[in-house]
A and B are shown apart, each in its own frame.
Chain A
Amino acid sequence: MATVKDFRNNVKPNWCPGCGDFSVQASIQRACASLGLEPDDLALISGIGCSGRISGYVNAYGFHGTHGRVLPIAQGVKMANKDLTVIAAGGDGDGLAIGMGHTIHAIRRNIDITYIIMDNQIYGLTKGQTSPRSESGFVTKSTPEGSIEPSVNLMEMALSSGATFVAQSFSSDIKDLTSIIEQGVKHKGFSLINVFSPCVTYNKVNTYDWFKENLVKLSSIEDYDPSDRGMAMKTLMEHDSLVTGLIYQDTVRKSYQEMVKGYKEEPLKDAELNMDREKFNELVQQFI
């Protein structure tokens, strides 16, 4: 059985020392090992950004795509081979600016993949512009007077878009993050995990200390029930979405592939490609 080590590939990340993304990488590796996965069975698809480099830093089938398209690529992979564990990961700009359309529709579609947003509330790779997750008033290179737009309320948006698994975590809490990723991978459907992953270079507001001060663990809220969507929404509102843990899970709704007509137990990649003569003649006959 594979261990955490087997998910390491000896490539040295080019992230800044202290970047939150290191812990996301480590948590994915730990979660996969503890789930009993083999590196060969994991497809890790990532976007473009500092965060997007992650698919090159885990020993697995990695695909580093184009900016914003991590989800369609990952969904295409899963549709082709349902036996693969597919994890998608990318930045807040990647998933909530240029890729926002895909995020909402992937949530609605509910294909069985896990999507980790590495949320540093800024554009890291392009050196510090505002992101859709930046708080209003946030001063960056592109918002010298402070951002005028409010930030995207990702967790509330996910709930209202029909998400079946919504969780949030913090990259300095590797234990919690690992457990959340494990639950996300196990969930049968689309799992959305937002990880506060501080950018130590360009975001001097939302720092490790800031999160430690402001985040509330859902486990500390008495009788919190992640199967209760109303409670989830109310709790997010009460805490300005600054909570960590499993926020909501719908274990009843089936994943996309299970509802698709002609769904088979064998992965699509193993489907027969040749059409027999009889079938062909039948199709031709429909046009006569």
Chain B
Amino acid sequence: MISQLSWKVGGQQGEGIESTGEIFAAAMNHLGYYLYGYRHFSSRIKGGHTNNKIRVSTRPVRSLQDDLDILVAFDQETIDVNFDELHDDGIVIADAKFKPVIPEGSNATLYAVPFTEIARELGSSLMKNMVAIGASGAILDLDAKEYYTIVSQTFGRKGDKVVENNMKAIEKGAAFVQSQSQGQPSKLKLMPADGRKRMFLIGNDAISLGLLAGGCRFMAAYPITPASEIMEFMIKHLPDYGGTVIQTEDEMAAATMAIGSNYAGVRAVTASAGPGLSLMMESIGLAGMTETPLVVIDTQRGGPSTGLPTKQEQSDLMAMIYGTHGEIPKIVIAPSTVEEGFYDAVEALNLAEEYQCPVILLSDLQLSLGKQTIDTLDYDQIEIRRGDLNLEPDLPELKKGEYFKRYKITDSGISPRLVPGTKNGIFHVTGVEHDETGKPSEKAPNRKKQMEKRLRKLQDLPNKFPSPVALNLQHKNPDLLFVGYVSTRGAIEETIERLEQEGLKVNHAQIRLIHPFPTEEVKPLIEEAKQVIVVEHNATAQLANIIKMNAGYGDKISSILKYDGTPFLPGEIYEKCMQEVVVYGNG
């Protein structure tokens, strides 16, 4: 029996490939397996090859598997495109209708199952997906009955007859494979799982849940891949909390509307990807200059320009740190797991109000859209902190011509905050340099004081931020330290397991607070390690450069980079490590 396997379904976009994956995954989740799913898709709605790869395991997984055990194909293109990935003696289950062929001389087994024909006989060719699922189950030696709960949940609304037919489709698919395999025991029988059904969600779902639980009550956004799910989630749920989403005319409107709303006391956010973030830069500067809280989520995708809109990349890093003109206080945080997506969304809302500045929550396509099981999200960790905001102050009447000192110079740099509508609290807000009351002032000493005050705010953040780096430090003086950020975590973790089996001592640091950079935390880790490899999805080693700039040690740090749009696989990092980077031996 095996502890994990990798399954993929592929076909033309719009043909129910996604739902086939969903139902298969739901059934495996029901049995208590851990799952990690990743979709390959393009910006077309109908047509074009799409596939959904799902890893099933008896222990938690946060990355794709290097190869593939089972490929379910609804067309020949799926076989042609994905065959290379298939394990030497892997299995292809394909619709007999298109007379599938696999490359000559391969050790793989092909099951040509009449998906469409069986489905038609049962009344609708739509059910060919269920036939495929049944066939997959037979390969895993699963009893077709195991699908019943999921099928009745999925189709129950449509009546018993529909449920019954879909179950029949599953059973017939399974029976067909069983008749072909002539009673041979399955090589791909999974060890039993713990039977506990888990949350199965994409990173964007976790981020959205965090926003909602963290008190976000207004969102303004413009649709874009891979951020739109956040907006869609909020549209569905915010009204239950009195809140609203406005789909704006563009991202400049989205960011400034969220600024207006935050200024007036509502926790408001926007979410987008690279192109939208580029349009928001001036507005983010406004939030920085006016010390208005603002949370912006950037789900990075392949750039530049429209780039690879549906593919993985991490190339917005520098732009997120330095993108605005002028110098503002800005916080950039990067969750490295789905769970952290949730907690960091809550934290982003807190930090924005505590530090009265823009906070960028930096995700990437793989984290945002990768779908995985997680054990739990902890309600008790949710905490709402609003910093120096005073919603019901008892203020003395202002003298004629006097304003409240909204930008008061303080030691921490953080000033008392009121919202418009507060009695006796009038102050001015402007993106022009201003004095303590917000009135424009270009005087040199005032400029200096206000600039220093704003930048002083974040000085202590790296010390205060809970776990600025997600660490796995098994060793003192390791041979190697891996550094990454956002979704590379899973692939790095698995690479480390393999390297350790070879006798190498490897530590791991996933940077979570990107800006201001946690130099004090990172520097000793680098110092200790013989060699440092920064793994990231871009062509110019942006994170490595940020690390070198802040912590030094340029000659120790090398990079493993990937920018072809596909996520790192553990084997890939391992190979590159062996070939190019690691100076071997423990000497």
Q: Which of A259-275 contact B (CB under 8 A)?
A: 260-262, 264, 266, 268-269, 271-275
Contact, CB under 8 Å: B420 / A271:
no
Report whether B244 and A284 are in contact in the complex, using a CB–CB cutoff of 8 Å.
no
Residue of A nearest to B249 (CB): A105
- Cα of A74 to Cα of B256 in the assembled complex, Å: 9
Tell me whether B265 and A81 are in contact (CB under 8 A).
yes
Question: Is A281 among interface residues, defined by CB-CB distance under 8 A?
Answer: yes
- B425: which A residues are within 8 A, CB to CB? 40
> Is there an interface contact between B217 and A73, defined as CB atoms closer than 8 Å?
no
Task: With A56-B439, A288-B199 as known contacts, state yes or no: A72 contacts B264, CB within 8 Å.
Answer: no
Contact A84 B421 (CB under 8 A): yes
A15–B390 alpha-carbon span in the complex (Å): 35
B422 — which chain A residues lie within 8 A by C-beta? Answer: 40
| Size category of the binding interface on chain A | 35 or more
CA–CA, A269 to B418, complex, Å?
12
Distance A99 CA – B166 CA, assembled complex (angstroms): 54
Q: Which residue of B lies closest to A269 (CB)?
A: B265
Q: What is the CB-to-nearest-CB distance from B112 to chain A, in angstroms, rounded to a whole number?
A: 36
- Among A10, A73, A272, A274, point to the contact of B260 (Cβ < 8 A): A73
Do residues B420 and A84 form an inter-chain contact, with CB atoms below 8 A?
yes
Complex interface bits, A217-238 against B, C-beta within 8 A gives 1, otherwise 0: 0000000000000000000000
Q: Which residues of B contact A262 (CB under 8 A)?
A: 238-244
A80, B220: Cα distance in complex, Å: 12
CA distance A55 to B377 in the complex (A): 45
Q: Which residues between 168 and 219 of chain B lie within 8 Å of chain A, taking CB atoms?
A: 197-201, 205, 209, 212-215, 217-218
Using an 8 Å CB-CB cutoff, how does the interface string of A74-87 with B read, 1 for contact, 0 for none?
11111111011000
The residue of chain A having its C-beta at the shortest distance from the C-beta of B202 within the complex is A287
Please tell me which one of the listed residues A48, A77, A280 contacts residue B263 in the complex, with CB atoms under 8 A apart: A77
Contact assessment for B268 and A80 in the assembled complex, using a CB-CB cutoff below 8 Å: yes
B230 touches A (CB below 8 Å): no
Known contacts A40-B422, A284-B377; is-contact A79 B199 (Cβ 8 Å): no
- Assess A72 versus B257: contact at CB under 8 Å? Given A277-B379, A280-B379: yes
Report B-chain residues with C-beta under 8 Å of the C-beta of A260: 239, 244
Partner of A73, one of B215, B241, B256: B256
Verify if A142 is at the interface (C-beta below 8 Å from B).
Answer: no
Q: Indicate if A167 sits at the interface (CB-CB under 8 A).
A: no
| A9 vs B398: C-alpha distance when bound (angstroms) | 11
Chain B 270-309 against A: per-residue CB contact (8 Å), 1 yes, 0 no? 0000000000001100100010000000000000000000
B66 close to A (CB within 8 Å): no
B225-252, CB < 8 A from A: 237-244, 246, 248-250, 252
Interchain CB contact under 8 A, B242 and A56: no
Once A268-B243, A277-B379 are accepted as A-B contacts, the answer to whether A75 and B260 lie under 8 Å apart by CB is yes
Binary per-residue interface labels of chain A (171-201) against chain B in the complex, 1 for a CB within 8 Å, 0 otherwise: 0000000000000000000000000000000
The interface residues of chain B lying within 8 Å CB-to-CB of A274 are 215, 382, 384
A105–B253 contact, CB under 8 A? yes
Q: Which residues of A contact B198 (CB under 8 A)?
A: 288
Does any Cβ of B come within 8 Å of A116's Cβ? no
Least CB distance from A198 to B in Å reads 24
Q: Looking at the complex, which of B326-334, B427-435, B513-521, B555-563 is the stretch in contact with chain A? A: B427-435
B131 at the interface (CB under 8 A from A): no
Residues of chain A with a CB closer than 8 A to B259's CB: 65, 73, 76
Residues of B within 8 A of A102 (CB): 249, 252-253
Check A56/B197 contact, CB under 8 A, given A66-B283, A73-B260: no
Chain A nearest CB from B456 CB (Å) reads: 24
B263, A76: Cβ atoms closer than 8 Å: yes
Binary A-proximity of B496-522 (CB < 8 A = 1, otherwise 0) = 000000000000000000000000000
Which residues, 12 to 61 on B, are CB-close (under 8 Å) to A?
A: none
Interface: B400 (CB within 8 A): yes
Nearest CB of B to A268, in Å? 5
A104 to B220, CA, bound (A): 17
Interchain CB contact under 8 A, A101 and B253: yes
- List 16 contacting pairs A-B, 8 Å CB cutoff, sorted by A: A60-B426, A61-B429, A62-B430, A62-B438, A73-B256, A74-B260, A80-B260, A81-B265, A101-B249, A268-B218, A268-B244, A271-B266, A273-B384, A275-B241, A277-B379, A283-B213
B interface vs A, CB < 8 Å? 197-201, 205, 209, 212-215, 217-218, 220, 237-244, 246, 248-250, 252-254, 256-268, 282-283, 286, 290, 377, 379, 382, 384, 391, 400-401, 403, 419-432, 438-440
* CB-based closest 10 A-B pairs: A76-B260, A273-B215, A262-B239, A61-B420, A80-B264, A10-B401, A64-B430, A269-B265, A76-B257, A80-B266
| New A-B pairs, 11, CB < 8 Å, besides A102-B253, A287-B199 | A59-B426, A64-B440, A65-B286, A66-B286, A77-B420, A81-B265, A84-B421, A262-B238, A271-B217, A273-B214, A287-B201
